[in-house]
Chain A
Amino acid sequence: MKRVMLILSAAIFFAPLAVTGGLSFLGAENTATLQNYDDLLFNCFIFYPMFWNSVLYASVITLAQFLVVIPCAFGFAQAKFKGKGALFVFYIILMMMPLQVTILPHYIGLRDMGLIGTRLGIILPAVFSPFGVVVMRQYMKGMEQSAIEAMRLETNSIIRVIVHTVLPQIQVCVLAVGLFVFADSWNMLEQPLLFLNREALQTLPVFLSGAGQYEGGVLFPAAVLFMIPVWLLYGFFSENLEKGLTLGDVS
């Protein structure tokens, strides 16, 4: 009985994805056709730049976050200074703030730097999201201190310590955070809507939101193609998600 319920609910949760796939092949008079894909790929030229924009924003944000987040989490784990605990609580609270609180400060910051309407305006605020810092710092609590101490006898360079002893130990967590951040940036809608004014720089969620003037037929194939990259990434890295996101006791 329990088993049946679980299988049934899994089927319900999976259904939207399956139906999206199915509807993308639905032609006029309920026949299966590739016409929709043909329309999208060969007649809807705005799709390519938008797809490319999404790829660009999500990849750059994820990679740049690693550069900012890994040292920062390491600093939190190792440094001793007054107010460290309070500063970390600030990171947790900031991580929890909804976009509609943070987006106005982001907008003002970007406006003052003249970055509204540019690609950097989409990328920069996202790079400094506190999520990765909080998750990795928690994970680093389980790190072996002795390996770090041993490495420090060999080198005085903090970069070498991080690359050679810290990264191998937190690899699982780094991949989990990367997957999460990529999926989150891939899903970005509000920032491009509010920060960008040229269609050429927009992302796929904006294309799919129907705010534009695109015909219904091309939307489902676009939705399918839009899912595939994150689906693949999930396929490769989902094991890390379980082991790397030990956010349970954040306090």
Chain B
Amino acid sequence: MGGIEMKIRISWNRKCILCLLPSLAGIAAFFAAPYVRVLYYSLIDNQFRRNFAGLSNYIQTWRNEYFQLALRNSLMLMVLAVPALMVLALLVSLGLSYGVGRLRALRTAFVLPMVIPTASAALVWQVFFSGWDNVLPVYLLFIWKNIGICVVLMTAAFACIDRGIFEAARMDGASAWPLYTKIVIPMALPAVLFSALLSIVNSFRVFKEAYLYYGGTNYPPNHAYTLQYYMNNNFLKLDYQSLSAGAVMTSVLVFLIVMGGLALQRRVDP
């Protein structure tokens, strides 16, 4: 009996592994295998001679003034817009979860932008902010578009917290703020951290917002020139060497951020 059951278990396990295959094959064909090519392209001098060039593409890309401008702007967005987004999302989520009355109806206003195509919203942005000569409109579009997912994740985490603890502390006369900072936020910290991580990662993706806000030009004002513009423009020139070096450097940067974020999240997970 034991032998047969063992066999069934093994064949079942094999079937479960088979279930992974379509996804793995697709990722291998459209990401993993080509990524190896990208690594190779980043190490050769050009597409025709294909001599090994060491790190010279990386050094050249790193020294390129547009790459530096792009990197600086992308980091600025991460340092300025992401914290603003997080604070706003936290306040809104707390208000929606613990506010009195029928405030839940308001959540649509914050979550709906998440599914609205950027292209539709960008038109209004052009009207609202015509003549603004700084990057603030792009930051605002980023916040508008990204607050939804943070609110969804945070309110879901708040909903899992036992209302009893909260009500008991309130009965004891604790005022609202310490309740939030000492009970609610620490208990929902994994979700808050994950939202932050997601927002940082999404801040690398604002190309679409900026591209549409500036009306489909490949050369936005300098303050809005982010890493994605750098990649996109080299794409149009089909400069595989700078493109590959840029992609590899960006992927390493994102890899480090994600691993750091996941490690931090694992440490706070109760």
Contact = CB atoms under 8 A, between A and B. Distances in A.
Interface in B227-270: 227-228, 231-232, 235, 243-244, 247, 250-251, 254-255, 258-259, 262, 265-266, 269
A109 B33 contact: yes
B221 interface: no
- Pick the most buried of B100, B119, B125, B212: most chain A CB atoms within 10 A of its CB: B119
Given A98-B228, A208-B123, A125 B212 contact: no
B17 A79 contact: yes
Interface in A61-76: 67-69, 71-72, 74-76
A13 B144 contact: yes
Contacts of B123: 20, 23, 208, 219-220, 223
- Pick the most buried of A14, A97, A104, A241: most chain B CB atoms within 10 A of its CB: A104
Given A20-B121, A246-B156, A251-B269, A130 B27 contact: yes
Contact of A13 (B109, B190, B250): B109
Contacts of A152: 12
A133 B23 CA distance: 9
Interface in A104-155: 104-110, 112-113, 124-125, 127-128, 130, 133, 152
A81 B207 contact: no
Nearest to B190: A249
Contact of B34 (A69, A71, A106, A226): A106
Interface stretch (B54-62, B79-87, B91-99, B166-174): B91-99
A96 interface: yes
A249 B15 contact: no
Contacts of B157: 248
Interface stretch (A27-35, A37-45, A186-194): A186-194
B156 A93 contact: no
B1 interface: no
A234 B155 contact: no
A129 B176 CA distance: 42
B219 to A, nearest CB: 13
Contact of B119 (A71, A98, A208): A208
A209 B117 contact: no
A3 B100 contact: yes
Given A106-B34, A158-B16, A208-B119, A6 B124 contact: no
Nearest to B24: A72
Contacts of B6: none
Contacts of B110: 10, 13
Interface string A187-216: 101100010000000001100111110000
B247 A104 contact: yes
A17 interface: yes
A163 interface: no
Interface in A209-251: 209-212, 219-220, 223-224, 226-227, 230-231, 233-234, 238, 241-243, 245-251
Nearest to B157: A248
Interface string B143-172: 010010100110111000000000000000
Contacts of A60: none
Contacts of A245: 149, 152-153, 156
A23 B227 contact: no
A247 B100 CA distance: 27
B194 A227 contact: no
A89 B115 CA distance: 27
B201 to A, nearest CB: 5
A167 interface: no
Contact of B23 (A3, A68, A238): A68
Given A17-B112, A68-B23, A93 B258 contact: yes
8 contacts: A16-B128, A68-B22, A68-B26, A99-B205, A100-B232, A105-B38, A127-B26, A247-B194
Given A19-B127, A100-B207, 18 more contacts: A2-B99, A19-B128, A20-B120, A72-B19, A75-B16, A98-B201, A110-B30, A128-B27, A186-B115, A187-B208, A189-B118, A190-B207, A209-B215, A210-B212, A227-B116, A227-B117, A249-B191, A249-B194
Interface of A: 2-3, 5-7, 9-11, 13-14, 16-17, 19-20, 23, 67-69, 71-72, 74-76, 78-81, 89, 92-94, 96-110, 112-113, 124-125, 127-128, 130, 133, 152, 158, 179-180, 183, 186-187, 189-190, 194, 204-205, 208-212, 219-220, 223-224, 226-227, 230-231, 233-234, 238, 241-243, 245-251
Interface of B: 12-13, 15-20, 22-24, 26-27, 29-35, 37-38, 88, 92, 95-96, 99-101, 103, 106, 108-125, 127-128, 144, 147, 149, 152-153, 155-157, 188, 190-191, 194, 197-198, 201, 204-205, 207-208, 211-212, 215-216, 227-228, 231-232, 235, 243-244, 247, 250-251, 254-255, 258-259, 262, 265-266, 269
